[in-house]
Chains A and B, each alone.
Chain A
Amino acid sequence: MRARAVERAERHALPALAVTTVLVLLGIFYYPVATVFRESVVVDGRATLSVFWAVLSDPFYFGELGRVLNGTPPSAVLDSLLSGDPRLGVVGFTAYQAALSSVASVALGLPAAYLLSRYEFPGRRTLRSLTILPFVLPSIMVAVGFVATFGQNGTLNTVLGALGLGQVDLLFTLEAVVVAHAFYNAPLVARVTTAAWESVDASAVETARSLGASPRRAFRDVVAPQIYPAVVLGAVLTFVFTFGTFPIVLALGGFELATVEVFVYRLVRDLEYAEAAALALVELGVSLALLYAYLRYEARHTVSAEGIRPLPRRPLRPPSLSFRELAPRVGLALYAVVALAVFVAPIASMVSASLTGPNGPTLAHYEFLLERQVSGTSFQVQPWDAVRNSLLFAGAALAVALPMGVVVAVLTTRRYRGRKVLDAVAMAPLAVSGIVVGLGLLRGLVFGVEVGGTRVAVGGALAIVAAHAVAGYPFVVRTVAPGLAGLDRSLVESARALGASRARVLTDVELPLVWPAVVAGAAFAVAISIGEFSATVVLASGTSQFTMPVAIERFIGRRLGPATAMGVVLLVVTSASFLVIDRLGGETDAF
């Protein structure tokens, strides 16, 4: 009797989850965001494309394209295109900057993935867990770290001066912005690529080798095709994120390098919603087009897998002094120097800023945190509460984002027409301007909607968790879906033939086979939740629901100390969380 009930519940588990997922997405994301985007096409109650046209045909935003559209003679546009210095417009410049950031992130992320997936050394697992750390840091902390590292009186110049190499002036340039974006996103590239590399089946490589392929050939024909999609995914996500970037550009570059999002912010602040929404839609269009192109590519390049026996890792210490053994390790050593400068130095600077006062080393900033905790009033942000909330929200968001992500991954790996479009639409939370999401949540949820004369408003902890889950679940989809698509269908079919429900096949057969991807997705979902700011401040019903990034923002003042001390707390708590996730997630070697 009970077995029957369990069976029935199992049979309906997936459809029920799918319906819930769609409802959550509609309520927390698509509807609120639509209320804002509507502003660009409905002006004074009438549908119009005039606002859109005005933005598209504005050379300030669209450069030469805008000039063509606003009626500049084509010959004049052609002349400036050929002159070698065409007008990019804000949108063009933002794309250019995002493309550079993607290249830099791949360049800095790939060697890390190679090191983490192909070499064995003490602390490897810890290092792998911590690679994602930069991804969660609030931009204000990154700016502080970068000024202290690459500024005129920064660490880099101190080191160069000691070596007698002169001074470099890196700040307030496009280069500084690109390196900061790589700081954020190279970990993303490294993490997804590592997961893909660890999922490569060793037997396929062995087969190729036994058929006479050289190691290089085996890598090119067997290993690389399974890694490419992950690398491209990392590049595409970096582009999408840096295309919608805002605070970092102004903190480390300056207003000359203003991106589209800078103008979205200003227009929203001045309540010029029509133009703001039109610009944000342009952002979304570019990002979704790119994601859609990636999804088409991913679908063509899924490699079918039957199980995982990861490639054996090599020891980091060279077994012999031959060129073949030394060359990659020397390369990794050089990379380590660069990684120290780009990733470790800024974080170390934050830590040192939190321990420094005007008169040398001090613990005063940590005392400030304690004092705030002990004697702060109810309407002030309390550090411990912020830590607790961050962890609670991250845990709960993970519990929601994982099933959501897996369900959407299952739905989009079935074969039907238009599934790639659906898949791209499901990725929208990655691509929508954070400013627009915040405004949409305010209007759609916090103010509520009139239902039959009463106002239904949503806010507080549950809404925050839902918003964090919506922001994080696309990562779960993107890490899990390729693995699921590549699984041998006969596994699923034989399990089904033996009477297992679809849900049971998923949890007992399919997910264990793509487990590294599930763990990587989980880590991203947690990272997104811990770093999230804009939805949290809008939905929190009071200071008691504020998280670590909000506390950091509140503690910014004339002295950097209090904010950086809170930043160090965030670093420690986040590091611990990622170590726990990876330990609980286990190593793939366990299979």
Chain B
Amino acid sequence: MRRRNFLSAAGAAVATTVAGCSGIAGQTESDDERTLVVGTYSAFIDAPSTSPGAWLKEQFEAEFDARLVWQTPENGVNHYIERQAAGVDTETDVYVGLNVDDLVRIDQELEEGLFVAADDVDGSDGVKSSLAFDPESRAVPYDTGYVSLVYDSTRTTAPETFDGLLAEESAGDLIAQNPASSATGRAFLLHTVSRFGPDGYLDYWADLQANDVRVLGSWSDAYSAWSSGEAPMVVSYSTDQVYADRNDADLQKHQVRFLDDQGYANPEGMAVFADANEPDLAREFLSFMLRPEVQGEIAVRNVAFPATEDAQLPDDYARLAHEPPEPVTFTYDDLAGNVGTWVEDWERQFAEN
């Protein structure tokens, strides 16, 4: 069922060779106008506020004399896993927007690699080492977000610790999200696993549930309920004030709290497909994404933090975008084989009927 023709053999070969050999030869077209197909999530190119997509396309096309085509499959990277499992070419060169559990899922599902290693592209040595999340160096980080609490300080003062959330005065004050349908919900759940350990996080959640935490579906469900004043605290991103400032909102109503001085880091990575038609151009695109000026632009337009040390950010960026004193995150090896169980056990406890 999961047999592929020659590409699978080639892909497997690539995955096991030393990085640097540039993989399979795609169809080498004539060089009049090369096309680079990049898959990503829709908010990266089409958010109602700002998104980097259009700017990146314009800059890249102007410089590289190539066409850049964005693709946004509804189910994200799963779309490409499906394609490969069905034995269909991905017809895509790069994916932008990978996180750690995507990689875990890919490796669990597919026998041969979906992506090839790319740790030698120009500029990748500038990536903060704390953000590198792929032991096989396929995914190169291009930005990161931190998941934290966001609260309305005109209504409450958020507790400073995880344990503070269990106090009487915080009852019913927090809205979180379903770990399966929201990245912030997943990050918050993983943060509790990191804080209380795989053996302690369920007890913490039992107490949190007893203290009336709300776990809604998507991030937007939670954020819009919080905005309408259903609860004074919500699990969201530590860049919340950047948006608030843009929309002339009162910053007092958009305060960020890092519980126990920690924020859960969600680095996002990009990777080159094993069956890319334009592997060389794809690698040039990765380098392009890591340039200081492009890194700054991605951070501002995607409202996130750059992945490299030398990104050019506007002077007042740090005033509104808060970084946690202590970023925490799980590595690939921590998550592999565990993350599914952690989420499932949490589900079974939280929704028991």
Contacts and interface: CB of A to CB of B under 8 A. Distances in A.
Contacts of B216: 172, 250-251, 254-255
Nearest to B88: A447
B53 interface: yes
A266 B343 CA distance: 10
A541 to B, nearest CB: 11
B45 A358 contact: no
A284 interface: no
Interface in A523-546: 537-538, 543
Contacts of A84: none
A45 B2 CA distance: 11
A90 B351 contact: yes
B331 interface: no
A152 B230 contact: yes
B353 to A, nearest CB: 4
B221 interface: yes
Given A254-B214, A256-B351, A447-B83, A147 B228 contact: yes
B142 interface: no
B248 A271 contact: no
B224 A270 contact: no
Nearest to B76: A269
Contact of A148 (B178, B228, B249, B351): B228
B154 interface: no
A187 B19 CA distance: 61
Contact of B230 (A147, A359, A563): A147
Classify chain A: how many residues form its interface, as a range: 35 or more
Contacts of B180: 262, 265-266, 269-270
Contacts of B79: 442
B67 to A, nearest CB: 12
B240 to A, nearest CB: 8
A60 B352 contact: yes
Contact of B74 (A380, A537, A562): A537
B340 interface: yes
A203 B348 CA distance: 59
Contact of B70 (A247, A379, A442): A379
Contacts of B215: 254-256
Contact of B353 (A92, A152, A154): A92
A134 B88 CA distance: 40
Given A258-B347, A558-B247, A379 B53 contact: yes
B229 to A, nearest CB: 5
B228 A89 contact: no
Contacts of B54: 377, 380
A528 to B, nearest CB: 19
B12 interface: no
B88 A455 contact: yes
B295 to A, nearest CB: 22
Contacts of A543: 46
B304 to A, nearest CB: 14
B7 interface: no
A140 B181 CA distance: 14
B220 to A, nearest CB: 5
B18 interface: no
A344 B72 CA distance: 36
A122 B95 CA distance: 58
Contacts of B14: none
Contact of A271 (B74, B78, B228, B343): B78
B82 A442 contact: yes
Interface string B46-79: 1111000110010000000000011010110011
A538 B248 CA distance: 37
B348 A45 contact: no
Given A89-B353, A247-B217, A537-B74, A143 B229 contact: no
B47 A557 contact: yes
Given A251-B221, A254-B214, A563-B48, A558 B243 contact: yes
A154 B225 CA distance: 11
A368 B49 CA distance: 10
B221 A263 contact: no
A447 B82 contact: yes
B211 interface: no
A249 to B, nearest CB: 8
Contacts of B221: 140, 143, 247, 250-251
Interface in B212-241: 214-218, 220-221, 223-225, 227-230
B109 interface: yes
A556 interface: yes
16 contacts: A143-B224, A144-B224, A151-B229, A250-B218, A255-B178, A256-B215, A258-B347, A359-B248, A368-B48, A377-B54, A379-B70, A438-B74, A448-B88, A543-B46, A562-B48, A563-B48
